[in-house]
């Protein structure tokens, strides 16, 4: 991927730059004029192109305008001996990634090159993420890159065609409702209603009437008979969310409908029968509640024919980049803007614990989209809690249960220390090098070693 085309009419400069960049591990091609540049950019796999502003047979700016339209996946950097604001602005408007004034220092050129290839890497990763996202559309709104979520989706596909009651467990915000909806949509009941009920949101004295319905005059305010959620879900699926919050008294009443699908309306004496599939969800440990006598054991086993545990987002960090891309795609369509992230931001988001899980991540992305300048999402667009996560310290490594190889430990500590110095120096390598007590060349070498490998 790291191929460079240098376009300049000064043969001495071309020779020096080609030699220096080749020693850095790049494949370098050269062109001395516009005609040669047109041929080589078409025939050779150059990802990054340096264009001199003045060439014998062409204007570099005009070449830039021509090339940027023909080769949108390449990066173009303008070079000129006459640096001024107008030229720089014109180059950026024409599609240049950066603008450098000659004579170009090799160290500055290397930093610009690495930034360019990093941008290409992020762009390529975004493309891969979109392809994965399109492949995941068979799972509706759910995306899965982690092995844990892929196992869950396979289990969902297996149980959807059955009539078994299902218990979905997991922290709030992990996507329990979406799993329940997927099971319904993959089942033979998909043409019939899917009725969700949040048991924790309904007062206990009203829950029986809400689920089973009531007859006229059964209580104050019951001016007419009313069907409950079970009757509304007849032929389909009823989803009882936060099932762990219902009282022991109501658990006994719910047991009957789980056994033989029969019930009576509040104030009624007619035994009614329904054909429903029951899916429950909870963020509590129901097994522990059973052991403590707070949840009926017979009801627990009736509801828990198949148990599906949804891991928290911090347990499946591999899903975060794909989820970020999914949410950004939603706002790209909504706002008609091409929102973009970068690898550093994704790494930061993957290191955050996400106590609110997928729901918190979606809300965070929505906030970032609202606050970002232009199309680029940065860490500054997120809340303080997300921005200020702590880097792992040496004592954190000592608290780990398992040992890691000493070279890996030292590399990780050095990497985090360099990142902190760069952050404190606002990204300026010279200042960061002074803070670290090493030369700028050493810092650039280490940056190349640690941060380009991630791409």
**The pLDDT value given to residue 169:** 93
Whether 436 shows a pLDDT value over 70: the answer reads: yes
* 277-281, 397-401, 446-450: least confident range: 397-401
Cα gap 310→168, rounded to integer Å? 7
Give all strands of the β-sheet with 75-80 in edge-to-edge order.
Answer: 27-31, 3-7, 48-52, 75-80, 98-101
Identity of the highest mean pLDDT range in 35-44, 235-244, 326-335, 344-353: 235-244
More confident residue, 134 or 32: 32
- Backbone region of residue 222 per phi and psi (left: phi > 0; alpha: psi in -120 to 50; beta: other values): beta
**The pLDDT value given to residue 453:** 43
| C-alpha separations of 204 from 161, 211, 286 in Å | 33, 11, 19
* Domains by residue range for the chain, with CATH: 3-131 (3.40.50.2300), 142-311 (3.40.50.300), 314-387 (1.10.8.60), 394-451 (1.10.10.60)
- Please report which helix (H) or strand (E) contains residue 178, including its range: helix 176-186
Task: Report the SS3 class of residue 222.
Answer: coil
Q: Give the tokens for residue 195.
A: 């009725």
**The pLDDT value given to residue 377:** 92
More confident residue, 389 or 55: 55
**The pLDDT value given to residue 451:** 64
- Backbone region of residue 336 per phi and psi (left: phi > 0; alpha: psi in -120 to 50; beta: other values): left
Portion of the chain with pLDDT greater than 70, in percent? 87
Whether 396 shows a pLDDT value over 60: the answer reads: no
- Give the mean model confidence (pLDDT) for residues 200-222: 87
| C-alpha separations of 217 from 48, 83, 147, 180 in Å | 79, 87, 54, 35
- Please report which helix (H) or strand (E) contains residue 39, including its range: helix 34-43
**The pLDDT value given to residue 392:** 45
Work out the pLDDT band at 426, boundaries 50, 70, 90.
low
Whether 208 shows a pLDDT value over 70: the answer reads: yes
Work out the pLDDT band at 391, boundaries 50, 70, 90.
very low
* Residue 95: exposure state from Cβ atoms within 10 A (0-12, 13-18, ≥19): middle
**The pLDDT value given to residue 393:** 46
Task: Report the SS3 class of residue 426.
Answer: coil
- Taking the CB of residue 402, how many other CB atoms lie within 10 A of it? 4
**The pLDDT value given to residue 281:** 95
Note if the pTM is more than 0.85. no
Tens digit of pLDDT for each residue in 55-104?
888 888 888 888 888 888 888 998 887 766 667 777 777 778 888 888 88
Whether 136 shows a pLDDT value over 60: the answer reads: no
**The pLDDT value given to residue 30:** 92
**The pLDDT value given to residue 138:** 40
């Amino acid at each position: 991927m790291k191929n460079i085309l240098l376009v300049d009419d000064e043969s001495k400069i071309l020779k020096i730059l080609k030699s220096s960049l080749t020693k850095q591990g790049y494949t370098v091609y050269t062109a001395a004029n516009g005609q040669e540049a047109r041929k080589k950019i078409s025939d050779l796999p150059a990802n990054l192109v340096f264009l001199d502003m003045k060439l014998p047979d062409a204007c570099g700016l005009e070449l830039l305008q021509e090339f940027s339209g023909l080769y949108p996946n390449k990066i173009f950097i303008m070079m000129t001996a006459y640096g001024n604001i107008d030229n720089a602005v014109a180059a950026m408007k024409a599609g240049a990634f950066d603008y450098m004034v000659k004579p170009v220092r090799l160290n500055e050129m290397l930093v610009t090159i690495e930034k360019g290839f990093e941008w290409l890497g992020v762009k390529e990763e975004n493309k891969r993420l979109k392809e994965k996202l399109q492949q995941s559309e068979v799972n509706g709104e759910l995306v899965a890159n982690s092995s844990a979520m892929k196992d869950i989706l396979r289990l969902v596909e297996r149980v959807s065609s059955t009539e078994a009651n299902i218990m979905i467990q997991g922290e709030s915000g992990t996507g329990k409702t979406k799993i329940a909806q997927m099971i319904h949509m993959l089942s033979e009941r998909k043409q019939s209603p899917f009725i969700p009920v949040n048991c924790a949101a309904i007062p206990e004295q009203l829950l029986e009437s809400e689920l089973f319905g009531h007859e006229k005059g059964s209580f104050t305010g019951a001016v007419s008979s009313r069907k409950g959620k079970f009757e509304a879900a007849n032929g389909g699926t009823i989803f009882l969310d936060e099932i762990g919050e219902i009282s022991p008294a109501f658990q006994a009443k719910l047991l009957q409908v789980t056994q033989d699908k029969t019930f009576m309306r509040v104030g009624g004496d007619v035994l009614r029968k329904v054909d429903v599939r029951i899916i429950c969800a909870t963020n509590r440990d129901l097994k522990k509640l059973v052991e403590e006598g707070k949840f009926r054991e017979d009801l627990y086993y009736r509801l828990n024919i198949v148990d599906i545990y949804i891991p928290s987002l911090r347990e499946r960090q591999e899903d975060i980049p794909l989820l970020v891309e999914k949410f950004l795609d939603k706002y790209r369509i909504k706002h008609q803007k091409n929102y973009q992230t970068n690898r550093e931001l994704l790494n930061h988001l993957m290191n955050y614990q996400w106590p609110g899980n997928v729901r918190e991540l979606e809300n965070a992305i929505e906030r970032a989209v609202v606050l970002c300048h232009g199309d680029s999402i940065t860490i500054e667009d997120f809340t303080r809690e997300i921005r200020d996560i702590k880097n792992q310290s040496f004592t954190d490594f000592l608290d780990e249960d398992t040992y890691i190889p000493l070279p890996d430990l030292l590399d990780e500590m050095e990497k985090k220390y360099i990142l902190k110095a760069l952050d404190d120096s606002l990204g300026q390598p010279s200042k960061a090098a002074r803070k670290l007590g090493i030369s700028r060349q050493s810092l650039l070498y280490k940056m190349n070693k640690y941060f380009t490998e991630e791409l």
